[in-house]
Amino acid sequence: MENITVYSHSACLSKENGEGHPERKERLESILEAIQRIDEIPIDLKESPIAQYSDINLVHPQAYLDEIFSMIPSEGLVGVEKEPYADTLLCPNSKEAILRACGSGISASKDLMNGNSKRIFCAVRPPGHHAETSRVNGFCFINNAAVATRFMQSHFNIKKIAIIDFDVHHGNGTQEIFYDDETVLYGSIHQHPLFPGTGLESETGVGNIFNAPIDSGTTSEAFLKTFKEKILFNVNLFEPEVIIISAGFDAHQRDPLAAINLNSEDYFSMTQDIVEIANRHSKGRVISFLEGGYDLVALSESINAHFKGLSL
């Protein structure tokens, strides 16, 4: 059984989005409470540091960061996106939350590459996979998984990284960032049509992008079959040196923002299959980032299943 390192920070709980917003601090609270109840897996809890601009700039230009942070209000909330998706919001505490969320992946990358841990979960918010190079999108400001990817490639002798995204929404940001980069495989299974509207199978990059759009109402059995055949099959052929997971838990049947019928234990099955590939090609090295998931019961149960898979 592998130990799991968990990065998080109280600043990630201070990011406010207003009453009724689905991306709320209770999401992270329920996950952290669930993690603390896990007795059978050795877990090492660590505080996420503040990411340095020089590391974030491996993906996002400084002008983009400056523009975001200049919009942070002294009180209340400010919407960053234009209509009709003006639901990515800044509050007075946003800057530290954003930088700590990104910093978790940088520290996770160091731990992974220094051999301190093989399995790392970044329990942070705001999420990241919708953030494009210079565009805030879908509750996301900095693409945490993309920054970790570029950090490992820049600071360590890592040539090939696979990013597996099982959030129910397509990670348009991650796809945009790596669309022309054959050193990074991006594989996403997601409901379509659904926000953000991207992620067709015809979007293939330079042969490194693998999208598996699925219909509303897809069953658990059909989801897992598609995931294996269209995502994991190609990840295995790619033989990545590190695997990153964009772990959204909103394909769960309880989730209010989508209509896929996974149950909590399905996240064990998916994670187990990912870990098998990591053990085969990547020296067991996996970093998992919290993305979506908006039902608190589903989050609590699914994270338990995810950790059971990560510990294998």
Closest CA to 161 of 151, 171, 172: 151
130 is a catalytic site residue? yes
> Which residue has 């020089």 as its token pair?
54
Could you say which DSSP state residue 143 is in? -
Report the sign of the C-alpha dihedral through residues 120, 125, 47, 173, in that order: positive
- What H or E segment, with its residue span, contains residue 177? helix 172-178
Using CA atoms, how far apart are residues 227 and 195, in angstroms rounded to an integer? 20
* Catalytic residue (one of 130, 170, 190, 192): 130
Burial 227-236 (b: 16+ CB within 10 A, else e): beebbbebbb
- What H or E segment, with its residue span, contains residue 67? helix 62-70
Using CA atoms, how far apart are residues 13 and 175, in angstroms rounded to an integer? 28
Provide CB contacts within 8 A for 193, sequence distance 6+: none
- Positions marked active-site: 130
